[in-house]
Amino acid sequence: MAALGSPLRTWRGLLRELRYLNAATGRPYRHTAAYGYLVKAFRAHRVTSEKLCRARHELHFQAATYLCLLRSTREHVALHQEFHGKGERSVEESAGLVGLKLPQQPGGKGWEP
């Protein structure tokens, strides 16, 4: 992972991925345990005027890594659904995929005069 970017950008990315995950269920993402945990963690590790949090960069790195995992998983599922095979294909279907036609027998298979 090259540069982390800003923590706000990572936070927004995490929220976007939570919205994608909860779009199928129809529940708001703010009522999930993951959202509550992220809010609690980001608030506990923010920099205040009294102290500089040593673990701030560690939290940001973990959040960016988790964001990468969520995004990659979502993209993997989308690619899998688009290009997933349909199982065993017949010879006719396979020939049709590459633009070929099979020769036709006059009476069909096992034709006898």
pLDDT of residue 109: 64
Residue 67 burial class via C-beta count within 10 angstroms: exposed 0-12, middle 13-18, buried 19 and up: buried
Q: Quick check: is 98 in a domain?
A: no
pLDDT tens-digit profile of 50-94? 565 556 678 888 899 999 999 999 999 999 988 887 778 888 888
Q: Quick check: is 76 in a domain?
A: yes
Pick 44 or 65 by higher pLDDT.
65
* Residues 6+ away with beta carbon under 8 Å from 29: 15, 18, 19, 21, 22, 35
Structural domain span for residue 42: 7-87
Q: Quick check: is 2 in a domain?
A: no
Q: What is the DSSP letter of 49?
A: S
pTM: 0.63
Output phi, psi for 100, to 5 deg: -110, 160
Q: Quick check: is 27 in a domain?
A: yes
**What's the structural domain count of the chain?**
1
Q: Quick check: is 33 in a domain?
A: yes
Q: Quick check: is 94 in a domain?
A: no
Judged by phi (left if over 0) then psi (alpha if -120 to 50, else beta), residue 88 lies in: beta
